[in-house]
Chains A and B, each alone.
Chain A
Amino acid sequence: MNRRRFLQALGVSAASLPFFSLLESSAVEAATPRPMRLLCLLAGYGGSWAHLRPPGISRTTPELALTKELLTFDQSVLEPLKAYAAKMLLIEGIAQKGALQNGTLYSDHFAYASTAFTGSLAQRGSPWLPRSASIEQVLGERLGAGTPVRSLQVGIGSNPGLSDQVTLSYNASGQQLPAIRDPAQLYRQLFGNSGGTVVSSPTPNTALVAKQRRDLSIANALNKSAKRLNARLARAEQRKLDDHLAALADIEARLQGGASNEPNLYPPITCDSPTPPAAAFLQDVPTITNLQFDIITQAFACDRTRFIVADWGINADPRPDVLPDITDLHNDVAHAIDSSDPAVSAKAHADMAKLQRWQAQQLAKLLDRFAQTPDGDGTLLDNTLVVWTSDFGVTTHSGLNVPHVLLGGAQNKFRMGRYLNVAPQAPASWYNDAIPFMPANNSLLVSICRAFGLDVSTFGEPEWSGPLAGLV
Chain B
Amino acid sequence: MRPVLTIALMIAAAGCDGTFDMPKGGAAFPGLEGSTTHRDAALTECVARSPSTVLPTRVRRLSQSEYQRSVEHLLGGPVDTGIVFPPNQIVDGYDNDVDVNRVTGLLTSTLFDGVGALAQRAASSVACADDACARAALDAFAARAYRRPLSDEERSDLSQVYDDARTDADPRDALAAAYSVVLQSPEFLYVTELGEDATSAAPGSVVVLTAHEIAAELSYLFTGAPADAALRRAADTGAILDPDERERQALRLIQTDAARAMFGKFAAEWAEVASVEDKTKDATAFPEWSQLKAAIAEETRSFVSAVILSGTPRDLFTADWTVAPDSVVTAFGLGPKGADGRSALPPGMRAGILTQRSVLAAHAGVVDDSPIKRGHFVRSRLLCQPISPPAPTLQITETPTDPTLTVRERVTRHTSGAACQGCHSQMNPIGFGFSGFDAIGQQRATDRGKPVDATGKLEHTDVDADFDGLEALGALLAESEQARACFAEQWFRFAHGTALTTESERYGFAESTKEFTRGEQPILAMILSLVRSDMFTTRCKTE
* A joins B in a complex: yes
Q: A residues touching B (Cβ–Cβ < 8 Å)?
A: 99, 101-102, 104, 106-108, 111, 124, 126, 148-150, 152, 159-161, 175-181, 185, 188-189, 192-194, 210, 213-215, 217-219, 221-222, 224-226, 228-229, 231-237, 240-241, 243-244, 246-248, 250-251, 282-283, 317-318, 327-328, 331-332, 335-336, 338-341, 344, 396-397
Residues of B within 8 A of A241 (CB): 59, 102-103, 186
Q: Which residues of B contact A102 (CB under 8 A)?
A: 393
Tell me the smallest distance from the CB of B115 to a CB of chain A, in Å: 9
B256 interface contact, C-beta 8 A:
no
Q: Which residue from A192, A237, A246 sits with its C-beta under 8 Å from B59?
A: A237
Q: Is the CB of A233 within 8 A of B198?
A: yes
Asked if B105 is at the interface of the complex by the 8 Å CB criterion, the answer is yes
Contact residue among B87, B108, B177, B203 (Cβ-Cβ distance under 8 Å from A244): B108
Task: Knowing A192-B113, A237-B59 are in contact, say whether A213-B164 is a contact too (CB < 8 A).
Answer: yes
**Contact between chains at A244 and B109 (CB < 8 Å):** no
Q: Evaluate contact between A236 and B542: CB separation under 8 angstroms.
A: yes
Please, which residues of chain B bring their CB within 8 A of the CB of A152? Answer: 106
| CB atoms of B165 and A214 under 8 A apart | yes
Cβ-defined contact, A226 with B186, below 8 A: yes
Whole-angstrom distance from the CB of A131 to the nearest CB of chain B?
A: 14
Distance to closest chain A CB from B151 (angstroms): 8
Q: Which single residue of chain A is at the shortest CB-CB distance from B37? A: A236
Give bound CA distance, A175 to B158, whole Å: 34
Instruction: Please measure, in the bound complex, the distance between the C-alpha atom of A213 and the C-alpha atom of B392, giving whole angstroms.
Output: 55
Using A180-B86, A331-B5 as known contacts, list a sample of 7 further A-B pairs with CB atoms less than 8 Å apart, ordered by residue number in A: A148-B113, A177-B104, A180-B87, A217-B161, A236-B542, A283-B278, A335-B7
Q: Which of B369-395 contact A (CB under 8 A)?
A: 388-389, 392-395
Contact A189 B165 (CB under 8 A): no
B29-62 vs A: 1/0 string, CB under 8 Å?
0000110001010000000000000001111000
A-B pairs with beta carbons under 8 Å apart, 8 shown: A149-B109, A193-B114, A218-B161, A225-B181, A229-B190, A234-B541, A243-B104, A247-B104
**8 Å CB contact of B542 from A229, A237, A283:** A237
A176-B100 contact, Cβ under 8 Å, with A218-B180, A221-B181: yes
Closest to A255 in B: B112
Provide the bound-state CA to CA distance between A236 and B38, in Å: 6
Partner of B181, one of A178, A222, A234, A240: A222
Residues of B within 8 A of A181 (CB): 87
- Whether A243 and B165, one on each chain, are in contact in the complex, defined by CB atoms closer than 8 angstroms, is no
Q: A74 to nearest B CB, angstroms?
A: 25
Of the residues B38, B103, B154, contact of A243 by C-beta under 8 Å: B103
Which residues of chain A are near B103, meaning CB under 8 Å?
241, 243-244, 247
Q: Does the CB pair A189–B40 fall under 8 Å?
A: no
Q: Which of A213, A217, A248, A317 contacts B280 (CB 8 A)?
A: A317
What is the distance, in angstroms, from A103's C-beta to the closest C-beta of chain B? 11
Given contacts A126-B34, A246-B105, contact A232 B366 (CB under 8 A): no
A453 CB to closest chain B CB (Å) equals: 21
Would you call A251 and B108 a contact (CB within 8 A)? Answer: yes
Between A235, A250, A327, the greatest number of chain B beta carbons within 10 A of the residue's beta carbon is seen for A327
8 Å CB contact of B198 from A222, A232, A247:
A232
In the A-B complex, the 8 residue pairs with the closest CB atoms: A247-B108, A236-B38, A193-B82, A178-B86, A244-B103, A232-B198, A234-B542, A247-B105
User: From residue B425, how far is it (CB to closest CB) to chain A in Å?
Assistant: 20
Structural contact, A318 and B389, CB atoms closer than 8 A = no
A210, B174: Cα distance in complex, Å: 12
Q: A108-B389, A335-B398 are in contact. Are A214 and B102 (CB under 8 A)?
A: no
B255 at the interface (CB under 8 A from A): no
List the B residue with the shortest CB-CB distance to A330: B7
